[in-house]
Amino acid sequence: MARELDGATVLAQLPATGARLVAANDREYPGALMDLFDPPAGLFVRGDRLDRLEPRVAIVGARNCSPAGREIASILGGALAGAGVCVVSGGALGIDAAAHRGALEEGTSVSVLGSGIDHAYPPQNRQLLERVVTSGALVSEYPPGVPALPFRFPARNRIIAALSRAVVVVEGAVGSGSMITADHALDIGREVFAVPGPVAGPLSAVPHFLIREGATLIRGPEDLLSDLGLEPVAAGVSGSEGAAPPSPQGLGSAERRVWEALTVSSAPDRLASLTGLSLPEAVSALVGLEMRRLVIQMGGRYERRPMGGGST
């Protein structure tokens, strides 16, 4: 039986949840949602005002992501937040959670729920979602008491797309929700970016399909910020200007030369040319840096992890 909602009862429940109702005629209501065929009549919000959390870019992807995908999402989230962007995602396990965490290290994030505003889902991410409330906002079109059910997540995805200037897809298998979000984004004229992965990898299916259909391929944060016309302003974002971070201790000669040359996302052959090493020597040095968790490979190119993410 469908759950009948009484408006007065819903409003009476909001103070206990710490949420507020932002109706479509309110100043805080994001006008970008009106690009949807079926915009929500209102949003339930916990946290900061949505009109202060701008501009916004979404990062979405697989729940059962790879470790590399999780790291990429975190790096991209941090780079966007460091450039003054609010990162939007769905609060799910995997890529969503990694994007939120990366963003919260540098700035703000918005999580769009597929459940009532008082229902932290998945429960494993309860603490993360509370951090989002503190630095950004939780958003739902569903009032308190509404459970998380499968059909609500595709509906949630349209809000993620509409809230955002652009959508970045990091991993996604055939039939995944990240494809639904990308479809919504394309339908309403949002930019779509995708991170490539292993050619035969199942989690590369959605990004590679989108790239073939015209989405912009990005290799890392430098590509994304450049394509969005943004400048990195936070320390530690790849490609930012200013004093270079100190080289990690304990590196061999080749590793140190490669590390010092790796100021932007680069392929092994470029690093070999910059350092004067042979290609096998450069690759060996990169493997050593990767084993020390000092660099990460994305789409065949390498870049430094944020300092603090590896051994020094």
Residuewise pLDDT in 10s, the chain (312 residues) = 345 556 666 676 777 778 899 999 999 999 999 999 999 999 999 999 999 999 999 999 999 998 888 888 998 999 999 999 999 999 999 999 999 999 999 999 999 999 989 988 888 999 999 999 999 999 999 988 888 887 898 899 999 999 999 999 999 998 888 999 999 999 999 999 999 988 888 999 999 999 999 999 998 888 899 999 987 654 444 444 444 556 788 888 889 899 888 877 788 888 888 888 898 888 888 988 888 888 888 777 888 876 544 443
258 vs 74: CA distance, rounded Å? 23
Q: Are 193 and 216 in contact (CB under 8 A)?
A: yes
Where in the chain do CATH 1.10.10.10 domains reside? 253-303
pLDDT at 307: 56
pTM of the model: 0.76
Residue 310, pLDDT score: 43
CATH 3.40.50.450 domain extents, the chain: 13-227
Residue tagged 């991410």 (tokens): 125
Residue carrying the six token digits 């006008």:
31
CB atoms within 10 A of CB 32: 18
CATH among 3.30.1360.120, 3.30.43.10, 1.10.10.10, 3.10.105.10 for 253-303? 1.10.10.10
Q: Residue 262: how many CA atoms within 13 Å on its side-chain side?
A: 32
Give the domain 13-227 fold: Rossmann fold (3.40.50)
Q: Is the peptide bond before 143 cis (omega within 30 degrees of 0)?
A: no
